[in-house]
Structure 1
Amino acid sequence: MGTMSADFLIGKLADAKTHFERALDCKHTEFDDLYPYMVEHPQFFWYKRYVAWSELLTIVKLCDELSVEWKKQFTDKQSHYIAKRVMSSRVLDEWFEKNDSREHVG
Structure 2
Amino acid sequence: MGDMMITAEYLLTKLEEAKNHFERALDCKHTEFDDLYPYMIEHPQFFWYKRYVAWSELLTIVKLCNENRIEWTAQFSEKQAEYIAKRVMSASVLDYWFESRETVG
Instruction: State TM-score, norm by structure 2.
Output: 0.90
Any stretches of 5+ residues in structure 2 without a counterpart? 1-5
Contact 2:77 2:100 in 1 (8 A): no
Which aligned pairs between 1:30-69 and structure 2 lie closer than 5 A? 30-69=32-71
Distance in 2 (CA, whole Å) between partners of 1:97 and 1:15 is 20
Change (3 A) 1:99 1:85: closer
Which aligned pairs between 1:17-36 and structure 2 lie closer than 5 A? 17-36=19-38
* CA-atom RMSD in angstroms: 1.6
Percent identity between matched residues is 72
SS at match of 1:95: helix
Any stretches of 5+ residues in structure 1 without a counterpart? none
One-letter amino acid matched to 1:17: K
SS at match of 1:87: coil
**Segments of 4+ moved more than 6 angstroms:** none
How far is 1:44 from its partner? 0.3
Where relative contact order (Cα < 8 A, 6+ residues apart) is larger, the structure is 1
Distance in 2 (CA, whole Å) between partners of 1:21 and 1:98 is 12
Distance in 2 (CA, whole Å) between partners of 1:21 and 1:97 is 12
Instruction: State TM-score, norm by structure 1.
Output: 0.89
Note the alpha carbon deviations across 1:40-71, whole angstroms, 9 max, x for none: 00010000000000000000000000000000
Q: What is the count of residue pairs matched by the alignment?
A: 99
